[in-house]
Structure 1
Amino acid sequence: MTKRTIEIMDTTLRDGEQTSGVSFSVSEKLTIAKLLLEELKVDRIEIASARVSEGELEAVKKVTSWADSENLLDKIEVLTFVDGGKSIDWMIASGSKVQNLLTKGSLNHLTHQLKKTPEQHFADIKATIELAAKNNIKTNVYLEDWSNGMRNSKEYVFEYLDFLTTQKIERVLLPDTLGVLTPVETFKFIAEVKEKYPKLHIDFHGHNDYDLGVANVMEAVKAGTNGLHLTINGMGERAGNAPMASVIAVINDFLEDVKINTNEKALNKVSKLVENFSGFRIPVNKPVVGANVFTQTAGIHADGDNKNNLYFNDLMPERFGRKRKYALGKTSGKANIQKNLQDLGLSLNDEELKKVTQRIIELGDKKEVVSQDDLPYIISDVLDSDTIEKRIVVENYVLGHAKGMKPSTTLQLKVEGIQYEAHAQGDGQFDAFMNALRKLYKTHSKKDLPGLIDYAVRIPPGSHSDALCETIITWKGEKKEFITRGLDSDQTVSAIKATEKMLNII
C-alpha cells in the first residue's frame, strides 16, 4: 500500500505562546525551534506573529539566522496580516521567507470585523501575495473562522477558494478558530473542500474547546487533509490546540494509509523542555507525556504485566523515550514492589517482601507518596526494626516551634505498659525532645542515655520536599558505639523513630 505523507506544522512558538501567561525569551524560542526541527523532526514551524514587538523581531532574527545556516529557512513560518505591506516589511527585516497570511474565512467575520465586501477583501489579499512574491516570500493563507464559514456562509468560502486557486500560494490553512467543530462536521467539511479543490494543499488547524481536538484531527486526515497544525502539550489560547503527542500516537497506531516524518521518541524530551520554559504544567494524566500515564498503581496490574504483559497496550513508554513505572502506595501489591526491586537489582524472601509491602501500605494510608528511590530506605528500616524487641514505645509527643521562642516538646513514653510524661525546651525540636527524654530517664531510671555523637539525614537523590527522609544516628554507649535509623517524611519524626530504636536496644 502506498501511504500518503501528512505534513506536521508545529505552532507552539506562535499559537502556543498565546496561552495565558506564557512568553518565551529569545534564547528559549531558538532552543525550542532547534529541538522541533532537528530532534522531533516536524516538517515546519510557525514561530511568531509579525509586528508584535521588538523582542519578537529579535527572536525571529535569531531563529531565521540559525535556520538559514542549516538550510532550513523554508521550514520557518510567520503569521502576517493584510495591512498594506507592513507585515511584509517586518518579514524582510526578520529574515523570514514564508508568510501565513491571516484572512477572513467566514462572511460573518468579513462583514462585521473588516466591514468589507468579498471583492474588496480579495483585492487586498491579491496585493499582499504579489508584494510577498516580489520579495521572494512564499505565501500560505489562513481562512480565519473557516469552520463557522462552512456552517453559515459556505457560498462565501467556496467563492474565496475559487479566488485562491488563481493565486500563487503554497497552502490553504483551514482553522477551527473557536474549537466548535464535531468530528462528523470536520470530516464532511474537509472532504467537501478536497473534492472541489483536489489540487490545493490543505492544512487543518484544530482547537480543543470541547476536548475534540484529537478526534477532529483524525477525521480531517481521513477526509484527505495534507497537513496538520499542532502544539507541544496542547498549548494555545483558551483550551489550547490539538496536542502534538496524542496526535502523533493516534496517526502512527490507527491511520494505516498515512505516514508522518515526526520522531515520536523525542516527544517526551521536547514536551518537558517546553513545560520548563513556559511554566505551563503538564497534567499528570495527560496522554503520552503526563507523569502518571506509564505508571501502574494497582498491584493486580503489575501481576498481570509479569504474566505475559496482560495490561500493556500499543502505547509502550519506550516509544516516547520513557519507561514504565509501578507505583508504591496503599493499592500496591507484592507484584508492584517486585517490579521496583527488579529495577534496583534487589531481592527479598517472601516474609521480608510481605513486611515491606505492609509498610508501604501504611505509608500510603498516611497519603505519603512513595517512590522507587525510597524503597531501599524502607527495606532497611523494616528489616532493622525486625531485629529489635519493642519494649519501649514513644506513645505521643507535641513539638512546638514559634518565632522568638525556644522550641519545646511534651513527651509521653510507655515502658513495658507504664506511661510516663515530661516537658522540656531545647535549641531545636529534636534537642527539646531529647531533653524531655533525659528528664524522664533521670527521674525514673538508673541508666544513663547514650551520647549522640553523629546525626546524618538522607533523602533519595533527585527527590523533592515530600520525599521520605532517613535519619541515621550514631550513639556512644557504655561499651561501644551503635547506629539506629528512622524513616519518615518529616525529618524530626524520623529522628524520633531512630531514638525509639535506641531506647529498645539499651
Structure 2
Amino acid sequence: MHEEKTQYIEIMDTTLRDGEQTSSVAFSALEKLTIAQLLLTEVKVDRIEIASARVSEGEFLAVKKITQWAAENNCLHKIEVLTFVDGDTSVNWMLQAGAKVMNLLTKGSLNHLTHQLKKTPQQHFAEIASVIQLARNNDIECNVYLEDWSNGMRHSKSYVFEYLDFLVQQPVKRILLPDTLGILTPSETFEYISSIVQRYPNIHFDFHAHNDYDLSIANVLEAVKAGAKGLHLTVNGMGERAGNAPLASAIAVLNDYAKNVKTNVVEKSLYTISKLVETFSGFRIPANKPVVGENVFTQTAGIHADGDKKNNLYFNDLLPERFGRQRRYALGKTSGKANIENNLQQLGIQLSEEDLKKVTQRIIELGDKKEVVTQSDLPYILSDVLDSNSIEERVHIENYVLTHSKNLRPSVTLKINMDGEIFEQHAQGDGQYDAFMNALKTIYALKKRELPQLTDYEVRIPPGGKSDALCETIITWFYQNREFKTRGLDSDQTVSAIKATQKMLNQI
C-alpha cells in the first residue's frame, strides 16, 4: 500500500488588500509595513496581497515602503498587488511601485461580463492576453482572478470553462477562484473545484472564500480536499460585508482535519498578529471568535473545570498552547470549587476545604451581582473572606443612603445595629465617606464610646482592572496606642471603605 503524498498548501494573506476593504478600516503606510513584515517573518504565510493598483497616492507610498523592505530581504516575489484589465495603466503603476507580482482582476461569470463590461468573451480574452503579455515583457509575474467565479459556475459553467481553456494557454502562474459574494455551499465548493482540477491537473488554483453565510471555513476545507493548491485568508476574517475566511481558524482546521496537507504557517504567531491587526484596524474581535477570541480558552462552568482536572475531559485538540495562549477559568456565579481551585493553583495558593467553600460562596455572590471577577481579583477576595472569618460580628451596618449632588455637601443616612440595638443618624461631610464617618461618630458619642482615628486610607484595584473591577480599600486605624488595618472589597469604592469600617467596628 503506497502512502499518499503530502500536499503543500500555499497561504496567501490578503488582510492588507481585501481585509482593508472592511467598512471604516484604513491602515497607515507604517501599519501596513509592520503587518506585512510580521505576516512574512513570524506567521510565515507564503504570499501577501497588499493593495489595489491606482487607488491613491497614500496606497502607492505604502506599497513602495513594503516593496523596498521586501527587496532588501529577498522576498519581493511574495508581495502581490490587485490590478485591472486597463491597457498599460496598472502595469506602469506596478513598475513605479517596485512590485513584481500582479493579481489581474477579470470576469469569472458571464453575468458580470455582459452587464458590467458589456463585452463578448472574445473581446475580454483579447484584452486580458495583451495585459498579461505586457506584464511578462516587463518582468512582472501574473496571477489571474476570475471575479464572481462561484456564480459563474452556478449559472454559466460553459463560459467559465471556455475562459479557462483560453487562460491555461497564457503565461500565468496561478489562477485564483474567488467566491466573490460568499454564496457557495461546501458541497458546491468541492464539486466545482474538483471538476476544474481534474480538467487542468497541472495548473495551480487558489481558492478565495467569503463568509456571507458563515461557511467560509467549511468551504476552505472542501476546496483543499478537492485539490486547490492555495488559499486566500485574512487576519480576524476582515473583509467586505461578512468578511473573508479567517486565517487562524483556517490553519487550525487544516492542521487538524485535512489529511496529508501541510502549510508553512506558525500557529504560535496567530494570536499575536490577530491582536496587532485588531489594534491597528480598530476592528474588534468578538470574544467568542474561534482560536483568537478572548473567551475561547476560558472555562466558566464548574463542571468543566472539574472535568479538566480529571483526565482533561473537556479538552479538544484546540489546545491554547498551540496558539501561544493559556487556558483560563472564568470566575462567576457558575464557578464551582474546581474552577476556583484551578485559578488558585495558577497563583500558587492552596486553601483548606472550609476556606475554599467560603471563597467560592463569595465569588458566587459577586457573580449574582453581575460583577466581573478575574484571577487577579482572587488575592483580594481571599484576603477579604479570610479576614472576615476571624471577626465576630457584633456591629452590623443595616442600611445607608449616600447622596452626592452638585453644589451641595455630600450626606448620608445611616442605620446600624450594635449588639441588637438599632441606631439611625443623618450627617453631612466633605465627601460621602466623610459624611458616613460623621454619622458614625454621632452614634458612638451617644453610646459614650470612642472611635479609632483613621491614619491612612489606600484604594487598590487589581492590575489591568477595568471600571467594573473589584476595588479594595485598606484603612489604617490608631486605637488605644496601637495601629491595625482593615480591608473592604466591592466594585464601589465608597462601599468597600464602609465594609472596611464595619470590620474595624467589630474588632474594637
TM-score by length of 2: 0.98
Looking at structure 2, the residues matched to 150 and 141 of structure 1 have their Cα atoms a distance apart, in angstroms, of 17
Report 1:413-428 matches (<5 A): 413-428=416-431
SS of aligned partner of 2:433: helix
Partner residue in 1 for 2:84: 81
User: Runs of at least 4 residues of structure 1 off by over 4 A?
Assistant: none
**Equivalent AA in structure 2 for residue 249 of structure 1:** A
| Pairwise CA distance, 1:218 | 0.7
Partner residue in 2 for 1:452: 454
Say if 2:476 is the partner of 1:474.
yes
Report 1:20-419 matches (<5 A): 20-419=23-422
Report 1:430-441 matches (<5 A): 430-441=433-444
Say if 2:493 is the partner of 1:494.
no
Looking at structure 1, the residues matched to 405 and 193 of structure 2 have their Cα atoms a distance apart, in angstroms, of 67
| Deviation digits for residues 321-378 of structure 1 (CA, Å, limit 9, x no counterpart) | 0011111111111111111111111111111111111111111111111111111111
Looking at structure 2, the residues matched to 250 and 46 of structure 1 have their Cα atoms a distance apart, in angstroms, of 22
- Using the TM superposition, name which of 447-456 and 426-435 deviates more: 426-435
Looking at structure 2, the residues matched to 55 and 428 of structure 1 have their Cα atoms a distance apart, in angstroms, of 54
Looking at structure 2, the residues matched to 505 and 325 of structure 1 have their Cα atoms a distance apart, in angstroms, of 37
Looking at structure 2, the residues matched to 402 and 73 of structure 1 have their Cα atoms a distance apart, in angstroms, of 65
**Equivalent AA in structure 2 for residue 455 of structure 1:** Y
Looking at structure 2, the residues matched to 458 and 145 of structure 1 have their Cα atoms a distance apart, in angstroms, of 57
Looking at structure 2, the residues matched to 404 and 96 of structure 1 have their Cα atoms a distance apart, in angstroms, of 66
SS of aligned partner of 1:335: helix
**Equivalent AA in structure 1 for residue 190 of structure 2:** F
SS of aligned partner of 1:80: strand
**Equivalent AA in structure 1 for residue 504 of structure 2:** M
| Pairwise CA distance, 1:498 | 0.4
Gaps of 5+ in 2: none
| Deviation digits for residues 267-313 of structure 1 (CA, Å, limit 9, x no counterpart) | 11111111111111111111111111111111111111111111111
The correspondence for 1:463, drawn from 462, 465, 470, is 465
Partner residue in 2 for 1:13: 16
Looking at structure 2, the residues matched to 287 and 405 of structure 1 have their Cα atoms a distance apart, in angstroms, of 52
| Pairwise CA distance, 1:431 | 1.6
- Using the TM superposition, name which of 329-338 and 417-426 deviates more: 417-426
- Using the TM superposition, name which of 152-161 and 457-466 deviates more: 457-466
| Deviation digits for residues 225-269 of structure 1 (CA, Å, limit 9, x no counterpart) | 000000111111111111111110110011122111111111111
| Deviation digits for residues 192-240 of structure 1 (CA, Å, limit 9, x no counterpart) | 1111111111000000000000001111001000000001111111111
User: Aligned residues: percent identity?
Assistant: 71
| Pairwise CA distance, 1:424 | 2.2
- Using the TM superposition, name which of 406-415 and 37-46 deviates more: 406-415
| Pairwise CA distance, 1:480 | 1.0
SS of aligned partner of 2:145: strand
**Equivalent AA in structure 2 for residue 373 of structure 1:** S
SS of aligned partner of 2:163: helix
| Pairwise CA distance, 1:418 | 2.7
Looking at structure 2, the residues matched to 222 and 36 of structure 1 have their Cα atoms a distance apart, in angstroms, of 25
**Equivalent AA in structure 2 for residue 364 of structure 1:** G
| Deviation digits for residues 91-114 of structure 1 (CA, Å, limit 9, x no counterpart) | 112111111111110000011011
SS of aligned partner of 2:464: coil
- Using the TM superposition, name which of 406-415 and 454-463 deviates more: 406-415
SS of aligned partner of 2:181: coil
**Equivalent AA in structure 1 for residue 324 of structure 2:** G
SS of aligned partner of 1:253: helix
| Pairwise CA distance, 1:407 | 2.2
| Pairwise CA distance, 1:139 | 0.8
SS of aligned partner of 2:151: helix
RMSD: 1.1
| Pairwise CA distance, 1:495 | 0.8
**Equivalent AA in structure 1 for residue 440 of structure 2:** L
| Pairwise CA distance, 1:409 | 2.0
Gaps of 5+ in 1: none
Looking at structure 2, the residues matched to 336 and 346 of structure 1 have their Cα atoms a distance apart, in angstroms, of 13
| Pairwise CA distance, 1:60 | 0.9
**Equivalent AA in structure 2 for residue 159 of structure 1:** E
Looking at structure 2, the residues matched to 236 and 424 of structure 1 have their Cα atoms a distance apart, in angstroms, of 59
SS of aligned partner of 1:389: coil
**Equivalent AA in structure 1 for residue 105 of structure 2:** L
| Pairwise CA distance, 1:493 | 1.1
SS of aligned partner of 2:180: coil
Looking at structure 1, the residues matched to 461 and 420 of structure 2 have their Cα atoms a distance apart, in angstroms, of 34
Tell me how many residue pairs correspond in the alignment. Answer: 505
**Equivalent AA in structure 1 for residue 52 of structure 2:** S
| Deviation digits for residues 104-163 of structure 1 (CA, Å, limit 9, x no counterpart) | 100000110111111111111111111111221111111000000000011111111111
Looking at structure 2, the residues matched to 117 and 73 of structure 1 have their Cα atoms a distance apart, in angstroms, of 36
| Pairwise CA distance, 1:436 | 2.1
